[in-house]
Amino acid sequence: MVGKMVDATRGTVNGTVLVAVGEGLLIGFGYFVAGVPNPVLFTVLTTAFAMLPFGAWIAFITAAVVLISGGGSGLAAGAVFCWGAIIMLAGDHFVWPTLVGGSTRLPFVLAFVGIFGGLATFGLFGLFLGPVVMAALLTVWREWIFRPTAQ
């Protein structure tokens, strides 16, 4: 069981970092296309903040506000916001649970519940604790249901 819990923790950390880098780079591409001032800086900030809940949202909303306040078009600022929202919703709700669930052999729904249930219950620490608890419960359940019977 300890091995499953270690795998769940490792998978959660790796999934968080990989998804944050992917989201940051994709949103950063939008910064370049839209003409956001200092797009590399905003890309780095978005990537770093994407590791925190709702952090990347603050970064790309700030980039949209900087774009519009610096004389950029409202359409470009709206496009930055919409592109960032699409990337974040897809990454956080589909890609991240899939990566975490795949590394811990948790089904998608259990990984999703573990991640967001842990976040709701334990805060930021729950992002890591939730999948670990779900992996432990699934391991106990599998051992209980599928244990060989003595004959």
Taking each helix axis from N to C terminus, what angle separates 2-34 and 74-90, rounded to the nearest 10 degrees? 160
Q: Which residue's structure tokens are 């209980």?
A: 144
pTM for this predicted structure: 0.74
Q: What is the 3-class SS of 46-103, one letter each residue?
A: HHHHCCCCCHHHHHHHHHHHHHHHCCCCHHHHHHHHHHHHHHHHHHHHHHHHHHHHHH
User: C-alpha 10: how far from its chain's center?
Assistant: 14
77: CB partners within 8 A, 6+ apart: 34, 64, 65, 67, 68
| pLDDT at site 49 | 92
Positions of the chain with pLDDT under 70? 1, 103-104, 148-151
| pLDDT at site 151 | 60
Domain ranges of the chain: 2-100
DSSP state letter for 36: -
pLDDT in tens, 84-117: 999 999 988 888 878 777 766 777 788 788 888 8
